[in-house]
């Protein structure tokens, strides 16, 4: 396959190689996440249409039906995570990811065929199933094709793709007809499927299958180096050693039999769940609705429509994701995550204050909730959202990576469903201000957890990371030599 698609030169080239192919391939691999972003944001610009008299289903959808449309994706996604996680280890990252695009495309096709609320709910269940698979396979694929110096940046492409999907569907929903948006959204997973057919499997999985020669050719193309370059042979040897000591398979028992790996699992899980409970997902799904609530009073309304305010929100998210790509390999995972948690926490607190003052008749300018939400989404996109994926893949060996990604993504997606299902009732029960204050407390509490419990993973080996988790300092080679000489 690789021989047919990629021209691998044996001539001597520049020894530093190039990262262009790794970056381009990472972008293509993340297209199903872009499709997920369009699906997640689709409710926001279309909620008023679906619930109005001109609904495409010829009858207005109820609030309950729309809430199921928003949350149903996150019921089926956790189920898919286990299926695709096992498939990625058994049949390969590429084949699993190809299969993820199929239900996503089918979901959009169902929406085109029938716009009845039940059909839309079923369609979004299909999209959620494929998206769940993409979210467990994409981080593995991207990590395994990227060299250490850029794996932080390419790891952020996953969330950058999601934010691009949010912005795309917000703009399309505001400018184009209902069915036109659906055609464009369906094209994304179909394009991904066609392109991925021509791309190679990851080097780690090729080695697992005993395809050493194909692994070298794939690495040669990814690193833009001659196939007989010393760096390529060294990397192939390293992968061989890794495969010898760690056969990948979905095995929770293997994970929980290792005390240090269990500590790493809890760290990765808590960091991921904190992001889910910071409230940003609910804000993105219900963005137009929140802005409409904020602009009900004429004292606080501004010129922009709720949909255009949502577009502004998504644009800020894109900028934050782009900034994360630039900073993650420079600032480190832990400092960037801590700073963005603080910013998101104070932004949610300000939003809660604005809604509380509005509820007691004290009016603040209408731009305050926009600034607060944009700041929160910026912090989420530049740290809280992408970095948990990076940390999750860097804290585990190739043997455990698929198991951990499967378990954490299943729990996180299940949490998303619960959060989206209770968001509207919670606001009715305790008010928007209390809901946002809860989100704020979770974000700020996360800072202390990051400082005291989470190790830095940037450019560090598993041995170093696990030494931090065990509360011991790893000895350097110089210290070992001194001790040997002393003895």
Per-residue model confidence (pLDDT) at position 393 = 76
Mean pLDDT along residues 459-483: 64
Rank 177-191, 238-252, 273-287 by mean pLDDT and report only the highest.
Answer: 177-191
Nearest-10 crossing angle of helices 367-379, 306-331: 30
pLDDT tens-digit profile of 141-169? 888 888 877 777 787 788 788 888 988 99
- Which domains does the chain carry? 2-6+14-201+246-454 (1.20.1250.20)
Q: What is the mean pLDDT of the chain?
A: 80
Q: Give residue 122's pLDDT band: very low, low, confident or very high (50, 70, 90).
A: very high
Mean pLDDT along residues 325-349: 82
pLDDT at 296 over 80: no
Per-residue model confidence (pLDDT) at position 412 = 82
Q: Give residue 247's pLDDT band: very low, low, confident or very high (50, 70, 90).
A: low
pLDDT at 291 over 50: yes
| Cβ-based neighbours of 427, under 8 Å, separated by 6 or more | 435
pLDDT at 227 over 70: yes
Mean pLDDT along residues 87-111: 91
pLDDT over 90 for what percent of the chain? Answer: 15
Q: Which residue has the higher pLDDT, 302 or 4?
A: 302
Per-residue model confidence (pLDDT) at position 479 = 46
pLDDT tens-digit profile of 16-29? 667 888 888 889 99
Mean pLDDT along residues 369-382: 82
The 3-class SS string of the chain reads CHHHHCCCCCCCCCCCCCCHHHHHHHHHHCHHHHHHHHHHHHHHHHHHHHHCCCCCCCCCCCHHHHHHHHHCHHHHHHHHHHHHHHHHHHHCHHHHHHHHHHHHHHHHHHHHHCCCHHHHHHHHHHHHHHHHHHHHHHHHHHHHHCCHHHHHHHHHHHHHHHHHHHHHHHHHHHHCCHHHHHHHHHHHHHHHHHHHCCCCCCHHHHHHCCCHHHHHHHHHHHHCCCCCCHHHHHHHHHHHHHHHHCCCCCCHHHHHCCHHHHHHHHHHHHHHHHHHHCCHHHHHHCHHHHHHHHCCCCCCCCCCCHHHHHHHHHHHHHHHHHHHHHHHHHHCHHHHHHHHHHHHHHHHHHHHHHHHHHHCCCCCCCHHHHHHHHHHHHHHHHHHCCHHHHHHHHCCCHHHHHHHHHHHHHHHHHHHHHHHHHHHHHHHHHHHHHHHHHHHHHHHHHHHHHHHHCCCCCCCCHHHHHHHHCCCCCCCHHHHHHHHHHC
Per-residue model confidence (pLDDT) at position 191 = 94
Mean pLDDT along residues 426-455: 87
pLDDT tens-digit profile of 269-289? 988 888 778 877 777 666 666
Rank 275-284, 314-323, 375-384 by mean pLDDT and report only the highest.
Answer: 375-384
Per-residue model confidence (pLDDT) at position 110 = 94
Mean pLDDT along residues 247-252: 63
pLDDT at 13 over 50: no
Q: Has this prediction a pTM greater than 0.75? A: no
pLDDT at 480 over 50: no
Mean pLDDT along residues 94-98: 92
Per-residue model confidence (pLDDT) at position 478 = 43
The span from the CA of 139 to the CA of 450, in Å, is 22
Q: Give residue 357's pLDDT band: very low, low, confident or very high (50, 70, 90).
A: confident
pLDDT at 477 over 70: no
């Amino acid at each position: 396959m690789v021989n047919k698609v990629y021209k691998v030169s044996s001539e001597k080239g520049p020894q530093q190689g190039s990262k262009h192919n790794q970056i381009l391939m990472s972008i293509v691999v993340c297209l199903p996440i872009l499709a997920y972003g369009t699906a997640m944001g689709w409710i926001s610009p279309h909620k008023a249409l679906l619930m109005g008299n001109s609904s495409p289903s010829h009858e207005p959808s109820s609030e309950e039906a729309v809430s199921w449309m928003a949350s149903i994706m996150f019921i089926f996604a956790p189920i898919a995570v286990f299926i695709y996680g096992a498939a990625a280890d058994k049949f390969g990252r590429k084949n699993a990811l190809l299969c993820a695009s199929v239900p996503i495309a089918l979901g959009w096709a169902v929406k085109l065929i029938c716009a009845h609320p039940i059909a839309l709910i079923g369609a979004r269940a299909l999209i959620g199933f494929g998206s769940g698979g993409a979210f467990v396979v994409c981080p593995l694929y991207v990590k395994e094709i990227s060299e250490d110096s850029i794996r932080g940046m390419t790891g952020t492409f996953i969330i950058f793709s999601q934010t691009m999907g949010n912005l795309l569907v917000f703009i399309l929903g505001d400018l184009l007809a209902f069915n036109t948006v659906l055609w464009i959204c369906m094209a994304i997973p179909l394009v991904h499927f066609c392109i991925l057919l021509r791309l190679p499997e990851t080097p780690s999985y090729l080695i697992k299958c005993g395809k050493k020669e194909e692994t070298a050719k794939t690495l040669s193309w990814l690193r833009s180096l001659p196939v007989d370059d010393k760096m390529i042979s060294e990397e192939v040897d390293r992968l061989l050693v890794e495969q010898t000591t760690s056969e990948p398979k979905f095995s929770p028992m293997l994970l929980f039999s290792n005390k240090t790996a269990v500590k790493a699992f809890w760290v990765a899980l808590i960091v991921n769940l904190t992001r889910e409970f910071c409230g940003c997902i609910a804000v993105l799904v219900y963005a137009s609705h929140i802005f409409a609530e904020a602009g009900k009073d004429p004292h606080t309304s501004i010129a922009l429509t709720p949909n255009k305010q949502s577009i502004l929100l998504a644009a800020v998210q894109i900028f934050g994701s782009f900034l994360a790509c630039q900073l993650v390999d420079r600032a480190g995972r832990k400092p960037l995550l801590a700073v963005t948690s603080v910013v998101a926490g104070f932004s949610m607190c300000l939003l809660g204050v604005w809604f509380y003052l509005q509820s007691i008749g004290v009016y603040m300018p209408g731009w305050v909730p926009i600034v607060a939400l944009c700041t929160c989404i910026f912090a989420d996109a530049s740290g809280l959202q992408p970095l948990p994926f990076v940390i999750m893949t860097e804290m585990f060996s190739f043997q455990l990576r698929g198991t951990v990604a499967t378990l954490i993504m299943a729990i996180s997606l299940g949490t998303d469903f619960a959060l989206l299902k209770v968001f509207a009732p919670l606001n009715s029960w305790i008010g928007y201000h209390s809901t946002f204050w809860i989100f704020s407390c979770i974000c700020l509490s996360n800072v202390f957890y990051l400082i005291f419990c989470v190790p830095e993973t940037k450019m560090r080996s598993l041995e170093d990371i696990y030494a931090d988790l065990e509360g011991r300092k790893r000895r350097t080679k110089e210290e070992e030599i001194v001790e040997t000489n002393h003895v």
